[in-house]
Copies of this chain bind each other. A is one copy, B any other.
Amino acid sequence: MSAKQQQIKRIGVLTSGGDAPGMNAGIRAVVRASVYYKMTPLGIRHGYDGFINNEIHKMDAGSVKHIIHQGGTILKSARSMEFKTDKGMQKAWKNVQKHNLDAMVVIGGDGTFKGAMEFGKKFDFPIVGIPGTIDNDIYGTDFTVGFDTAVNTVVEAVDKIRDTATSHNRLFFVEVMGRDAGFIAMYSGIGAGAEEILIPEKDRGIEQLFESLERTSKRRKSSRLVVVAEGDKNGNVYDLEEQVKERFGDRYETKVTILGHVQRGGRPSCTDRVLASRLGVAAVEALKDGKRGVMVGVRNRKVEFTDLEQATKRNPEMDKELMRVANIISI
């Protein structure tokens, strides 16, 4: 191991998959920690595509100046098909040799980690992952980089929609991102004071929605907001609107908003910047200490490591207590 440790002189860093606010803070921390520990950081642009195509350049403390507050990723991102092929991986491996890379940090989600795991095994190459995705669907960390910003973005948007909903006594369906996970919907739904929250993790969402509409249509509540996870099993948000119309006729004036890609962007929240900074430093220190094939996360306020294999296979569990709380306070 100690032999290995001495080899880590040059560290590559890339962002891959869907971009998330805070990725830049992560890049910055990886770069600065590398410099701090007398290593040379190299930026790889456009994710695994750039890894394959040799879009690799040296970085230093100055190249990450004034980026901590910027959304997106200065290294750009991509979903690479080619990296799933042997040929693609071989090309990337040539670039590793060309640039004398000793290790790599990858920032992204599920797909990113799968690629990293495979590449790492194939070439016995040390890689550490940082969970960067707004969806919070990665096992091994309390929260992923980007989640906190995304739920704040959603809550801000829904606050605005509430203004107009209240002015008109309307029933609004707001679809939010999250892929197969309901975390964004659950947190932002509670935060926005939504009357109902529909998530893939919950079975009888639509029945519950009907019952609650049944109850409240009698009470004449001034407006109703339903936050719907994109992965919800009752079909998409327009179907949902249809079903409500069928059942309740014109008792409700319904409206639909699909928040879309605004959820991916924006200045990262303080929480995301701090989290990404911690994880960036931890990733470099992990490589320095001979760790590989792991993801760094923060659980219970402490840095923890999870095998990339586990990180990609297991799903984080939706907090039952939150569902209960959501139910109680939307009374």
Q: Across the interface, which residues of B come within 8 angstroms of A71, CB to CB?
A: 160, 163-164
- Interface class of chain A by DSSP: helix
Restricting to A159-209, which residues have a CB under 8 Å from any CB of B?
A: 159-169, 172, 187-188, 190-193
**Selected contact of A32 from candidates B36, B165, B324, B331, CB within 8 Å:** B331
Asked if A68 CB lies within 8 Å of chain B CBs, one says yes
Q: Is A19 an interface residue (CB 8 A)?
A: yes
A191→B328 contact, CB < 8 A: no
Contact pattern, A 145-161, Cβ under 8 Å of B = 1, otherwise 0:
00010011111110111
Complex Cα distance, B175 from A261, in Å, reads 13
> Which residues of chain A (38-67) have a CB below 8 Å from chain B?
61, 65-66
- C-alpha gap A65/B278 in the complex (Å): 31
B265/A328 in contact, CB under 8 A: no
Q: Out of B21, B28, B69, B321, which one reaches A278, CB within 8 Å?
A: B321
Nearest CB of B to A55, in Å? 13
Does A168 contact B257, Cβ atoms closer than 8 Å? no
**A144: interface (CB < 8 Å):** no
- A190 contacts B277, C-beta separation under 8 Å: yes
A114 to B265, CA, bound (A): 42
Among A6-14, A96-104, A266-274, the one that faces the other chain is A266-274
Q: How far is the CB of A180 from chain B (nearest CB, A)?
A: 20
Given contacts A163-B265, A278-B325, contact A191 B68 (CB under 8 A): yes
Contact of A33 with B by CB under 8 A = yes
CA distance in complex: A160, B267 (Å): 8
- B267 near A191 (CB under 8 angstroms)? no
A301 at the interface (CB under 8 A from B): yes
State whether the Cβ of A214 lies closer than 8 Å to any Cβ in chain B: no
30 interchain pairs, CB-CB under 8 A: A19-B164, A19-B167, A32-B330, A33-B328, A36-B328, A65-B222, A66-B162, A69-B159, A69-B192, A69-B193, A71-B163, A71-B164, A72-B163, A73-B167, A142-B301, A148-B271, A152-B271, A155-B269, A155-B270, A161-B262, A161-B264, A188-B270, A191-B270, A257-B258, A257-B260, A257-B261, A258-B258, A269-B269, A278-B321, A280-B329
Given A271-B271, A281-B329; 18 other pairs, CB 8 A cutoff: A19-B164, A29-B325, A32-B328, A35-B331, A66-B162, A66-B193, A68-B193, A71-B160, A71-B164, A76-B166, A142-B301, A152-B271, A161-B261, A161-B262, A161-B264, A172-B261, A192-B270, A278-B322
